[in-house]
Amino acid sequence: MQIPFDNSYARLPENFFKKVNPSAPPEPTLIRVNTELADIMGIDVDWLQSKEGLAMLSGQALPKGSDPIAMAYAGHQFGGWSPKLGDGRALLIGEVIGNDGIRRDIQLKGSGHTPFSRSGDGKSALGPVLREYIVSEAMAVLGVPTTRALAAVTTGENVVRNTLEPGGVFTRVAQSHVRIGTFQYFYARQDNGSLKILADYVIERHYPDALNAANPYAELLKLIAARQAELIAKWMSFGFIHGVMNTDNVQIAGETIDYGPCAFMDDFHPHKVFSSIDQYGRYAWGKQSEIGQWNLMRLADTLLPLIDDDLERAKIAAEDAIKHFNELFQISIFKKFSRKLGLLSDDENQNDLISLTFEVMTENEVDFTLFFRHLTKVYDGGETSPLCRLFKNPAACDDWLKKWREFITLDGGNEQDRLKTMQSYNPILIPRNHRIAEAIAAGEQGDFKVFNRLVDAYRNPYSEQPEYADLEQAPMATEIVNETFCGT
Residues that bind Mg ion (CB under 5 A): 249, 258
Q: How far is the CB of 282 from ligand AMP (least distance, A)?
A: 14
Binding map of ligand AMP across residues 370-389, x = CB under 6 A, - = no contact: --------------------
Neighbours of 277 (CB within 10 A): 16
- Cβ proximity to ligand AMP: between 261 and 443 the closer is 261
Asked if 488 interacts with ligand AMP (CB under 6 A), we say yes
Neighbours of 86 (CB within 10 A): 23
Asked if 122 interacts with ligand AMP (CB under 6 A), we say yes
Binding map of ligand AMP across residues 80-109, x = CB under 6 A, - = no contact: -----xxxxx--------------------
Quick one: which segment of 118-126, 212-220, 227-235, 373-381 binds ligand AMP (CB under 6 A)?
Answer: 118-126
Asked if 486 interacts with ligand AMP (CB under 6 A), we say yes
Q: Are 6 and 102 in contact (CB under 8 A)?
A: no
Q: How far is the CB of 87 from Mg ion (least distance, A)?
A: 9
77 DSSP β-pair partners: 80
Strands 103-109 and 90-97: antiparallel
Asked if 258 interacts with ligand AMP (CB under 6 A), we say yes
Active site residue 248: yes
Q: How far is the CB of 267 from ligand AMP (least distance, A)?
A: 26
Going from the C-alpha of 163 to that of each of 14, 158, 170, 326, the distances in angstroms are 38, 10, 20, 44
Q: How far is the CB of 484 from ligand AMP (least distance, A)?
A: 12
Identify which of 38, 261, 267, 284 has the alpha carbon closest to the alpha carbon of residue 131: 261
Asked if 131 interacts with ligand AMP (CB under 6 A), we say no
The helix/strand/coil state of 18 is: strand
Torsions phi, psi for 214 (to 5 deg): -60, -40
Indicate the DSSP class of residue 391. S
Q: Are 62 and 112 in contact (CB under 8 A)?
A: no
∠ Cα 11 12 15 (to 5°): 125
Q: How far is the CB of 288 from Mg ion (least distance, A)?
A: 17
CA 232 to chain centre: 9
DSSP 257-289: ---SS-EE-SB--TT---BTT-TT-TT-GGGHH
Among 15, 29, 35, 117, binds ligand AMP (CB under 6 A): 117
By beta carbon distance, the residue nearest Mg ion is: 258
Given the residues 87, 105, 248, 278, the one annotated as active site: 248
Q: How far is the CB of 178 from ligand AMP (least distance, A)?
A: 14
Q: Which does 260 bind (CB under 5 to 8 A by kind): ligand AMP, Mg ion, none?
A: ligand AMP
- Cβ proximity to Mg ion: between 80 and 412 the closer is 80
Binding map of ligand AMP across residues 35-74, x = CB under 6 A, - = no contact: ----------------------------------------
Asked if 112 interacts with ligand AMP (CB under 6 A), we say no
Asked if 127 interacts with ligand AMP (CB under 6 A), we say no
b/e map 184-216, b = 16+ CB within 10 Å: bbbbeeeeeebbebbbbbbbebbbeebeeeebb
Which residues are catalytically annotated? 248
Q: Which residues bind to ligand AMP, rule: CB under 6 A? A: 85-89, 116-117, 120-123, 248-249, 258, 260, 486-488
